[in-house]
């Protein structure tokens, strides 16, 4: 009947994948999850037999439900309520039962168009992407900007803003501009800035950013001495040295969407999630681990690193710049989320970003 996708994901949590259930159980579990995701109400045997043509009686369904409950795939909110999927139930559904969803051409185009609308600034691309994703999914979306390190130096501009401030704009081969204003303790000399940047642009052309050492910069700026902290700052931007990595900014949006979800009617839960957003560390970590994997990754309930997220699920996906994973986006919503749809959306988003970071390169090189 239904073709079962191979299960090679979900290894992450060190748990062996669940054994395969027999056909009837499979079908019932799938239907319960589907129905619960659709309605948000605990699913009972009557609902199942009435709304879905299972070919068996409520009594039989009840027996199977009890069994699935015992095995940990389903849970009962209280004795006389229907069943609700447990983490394990969702996991089985996501790994084996869910039918992949395809987006309409309109949706694909919308995402692609929105991503393309973003300017060439590094940060705003990602900011925009997370914003689009959050409105489209009516969930929280979050993202980190691509690492620069695998991109290639094209141009740098050092603009004197004041005696002690320099605005740095770095342009990479992919047509992305990263920028930042640096303050210096000693005054900067406009002439020195110009000579240094000319030197940089002449000699660093084509280098991978990760390979540009601070010593190289120092050497190139030798003729035109620059304040040490300025050089260190530039080096940090260029090669993303050390601390730049932890400070990498997280873009998140769509928190207000949680208000619509019935599972967040409890203000304390809402608050816990908002605090998590504020703190950023946990979400950042999720995206970071996502960089290792290849495609979309789903984390359900307790699988997530924070106890406050035990009623949430997260879908993350990395995107590439060039041929390496350079950044990632994620969606955070209630466990009762439309997994298939969100995965389709986030896949599309990743594709669009990959394309953008690739397409720009060729366009810019032309």
Partner DNA sequence: AGTTAGCACTCTCACTCGCCGATTGCTAAT
Partner DNA sequence: ATTAGCAATCGGCGAGTGAGAGTGCTAACT
Residues 45-64 that bind DNA (CB under 7 A): 45-47, 56-60, 62-63
Taking the least distance from each CB to DNA, the nearer of 24 and 241 is 24
| Secondary structure (H, E, C), 81-121 | CCEEECHHHHHHHHHHHCCCCCCCHHHHHHHHHHHHHCCCE
Taking the least distance from each CB to DNA, the nearer of 71 and 123 is 71
The neighbour count for residue 243, using CB atoms within 10 Å, is 9
62 near a second copy, judged by CB under 8 A: no
275 binds, among a second copy, DNA, none (CB under 5 to 8 A by kind): a second copy
Beta strands in 151-263 (DSSP E): 153-162, 165-172, 177-183, 250-253
Candidate segments 19-27, 100-108, 177-185, 305-313, binder of a second copy by CB under 8 A: 177-185
Residue 121, strand partner residues:
177
Is residue 156 a contact partner of residue 198, using CB atoms and an 8 Å limit?
Answer: no
Residue 300, strand partner residues:
313
17 near a second copy, judged by CB under 8 A: no
Binder to a second copy among 228, 275, 292, 295 (CB under 8 A)? 275
Taking the least distance from each CB to a second copy, the nearer of 103 and 159 is 159
27 near DNA, judged by CB under 7 A: no
Taking the least distance from each CB to DNA, the nearer of 83 and 154 is 83
Candidate segments 7-15, 73-81, 158-166, 247-255, binder of DNA by CB under 7 A: 73-81
Cα separation, 295 vs 298, whole angstroms: 10
Cα separation, 144 vs 287, whole angstroms: 7
Q: 324-334 and 312-321 as β-strands: parallel, antiparallel, unpaired?
A: antiparallel
Is residue 125 a contact partner of residue 356, using CB atoms and an 8 Å limit?
Answer: yes
Residues 261-280 that bind DNA (CB under 7 A): none
Candidate segments 76-84, 254-262, 304-312, 355-363, binder of DNA by CB under 7 A: 76-84
Contacts of 222 (CB under 8 A, 6+ apart): none
Candidate segments 107-115, 160-168, 318-326, 330-338, binder of a second copy by CB under 8 A: 160-168
Is residue 121 a contact partner of residue 146, using CB atoms and an 8 Å limit?
Answer: no
- Least separation in angstroms between residue 260's CB and a second copy is 8
Taking the least distance from each CB to DNA, the nearer of 1 and 307 is 1
Cα separation, 192 vs 194, whole angstroms: 5
194 near a second copy, judged by CB under 8 A: no
CA 355 to chain centre: 17
253 near DNA, judged by CB under 7 A: no
Dihedral (Cα; 132, 128, 117, 359), 10-degree rounding: -100
- Binding residues for a second copy, per CB under 8 A? 119-121, 124, 155, 157, 159-165, 167, 169, 171, 175-177, 179-183, 255-256, 259, 265, 267, 270-271, 274-275, 277-278, 360, 363-364, 366
- Binding residues for DNA, per CB under 7 A? 41-42, 44-47, 56-60, 62-63, 65-66, 69, 76, 78-83
């Amino acid at each position: 009947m239904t073709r079962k996708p191979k299960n090679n994901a979900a290894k992450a949590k060190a748990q062996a994948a669940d054994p395969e259930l027999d056909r009837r159980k499979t079908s019932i579990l799938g239907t319960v999850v589907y129905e619960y995701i659709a309605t948000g109400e605990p699913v009972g045997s009557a609902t199942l037999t009435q709304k879905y043509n299972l070919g068996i009686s409520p009594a039989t369904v009840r027996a199977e439900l009890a069994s699935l409950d015992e095995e940990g795939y389903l849970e009962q909110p209280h004795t006389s309520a229907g069943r609700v999927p447990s983490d394990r139930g969702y996991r089985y559904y996501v790994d084996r039962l869910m039918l992949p969803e395809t987006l309409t051409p309109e949706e694909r185009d919308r995402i692609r168009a929105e991503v393309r609308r973003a300017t060439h600034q590094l940060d705003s691309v990602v900011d925009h992407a997370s914003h689009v994703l959050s409105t489209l999914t009516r969930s929280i979306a979050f993202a980190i900007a691509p690492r620069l390190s695998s991109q290639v130096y094209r141009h740098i501009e050092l603009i004197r803003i004041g005696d002690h401030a320099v605005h740095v704009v770095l342009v990479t081969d992919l047509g992305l501009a990263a920028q930042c204003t640096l303050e210096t303790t000693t005054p900067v000399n406009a002439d020195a800035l110009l000579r240094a940047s000319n030197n940089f642009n002449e000699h660093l052309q084509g280098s991978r950013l990760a390979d540009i050492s601070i010593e190289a910069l120092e050497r190139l700026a030798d003729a035109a001495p620059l304040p040490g902290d300025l050089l260190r700052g530039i080096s940090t931007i260029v090669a993303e040295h050390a601390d730049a990595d932890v400070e990498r900014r997280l873009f998140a949006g769509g928190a207000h969407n949680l208000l619509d979800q019935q599972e967040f009617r409890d203000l304390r839960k809402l608050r816990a999630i908002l605090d998590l957003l504020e703190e950023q560390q946990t979400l950042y970590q999720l995206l970071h681990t996502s960089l290792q994997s290849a495609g979309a990754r789903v984390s359900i309930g307790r699988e997530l690193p924070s106890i406050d997220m035990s009623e949430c699920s997260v879908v993350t996906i990395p995107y590439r710049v060039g041929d390496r994973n350079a950044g990632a986006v994620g969606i955070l919503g209630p466990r009762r989320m439309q997994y298939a749809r969100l995965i389709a959306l986030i896949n599309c988003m990743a594709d669009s970003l990959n394309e953008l970071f690739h397409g720009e390169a060729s366009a810019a090189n032309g």
